[in-house]
Amino acid sequence: MTRDELDRIAFDQPAFAELLGFRLISAEPDEVVAELSVTEDLANRNGVMHGGALMAMADNVGGTATMINLPEGKTTTTLESKTNFLRAIRIGDTARARCVPLHKGRTTMVWQTTITRGDGKPAAIVTQTQIVIEWRD
């Protein structure tokens, strides 16, 4: 895959990612990095980033990582996801996600995403399995 093709796939984010305010920083076959500003719209009743928003961020970055590693004619969907919540991210802070592969196989890919706060401390670690499937119109 050429650099232009990789960038076209990686930076063509779905509307849901845009709704969240997801910002893709970099995309390489073995590392995808993104950021998200924590706003009141993404917070829970305690004034910190909602767990579902953290999970959505990780799911999107893991999906992006898989998409840029797929062979032609294939697509993906999340098969399984597990999140360990370690620390809160307060409103006004920035969540930064770094996604790296644990396994890149023919039928599945497993990714680990570490989401950190602005101070660099880990807030969540997400491990997700993406299934590789035939694209059908």
CATH number at residue 103: 3.10.129.10
> What is the pLDDT, as a whole number, of residue 10?
86
Region of 71 (left: φ > 0; alpha: ψ -120 to 50; beta: rest) is: beta
pLDDT at 137 > cutoff 80: no
1-53 pLDDT, tens digit each? 788 888 888 888 999 999 999 999 999 999 999 999 999 999 999 999 999 99
pLDDT band at 136 (very low <50, low <70, confident <90, very high): confident
Q: Which domain holds residue 93?
A: 3-134
State the angle between helix axes of 3-11 and 51-67 in degrees (0 to 180), rounded to the nearest 10. Answer: 150
Number of domains in the chain: 1
Q: Give mean pLDDT, residues 88-100.
A: 98
Sign of CA dihedral 35, 40, 46, 52: negative
pLDDT at 95 > cutoff 80: yes
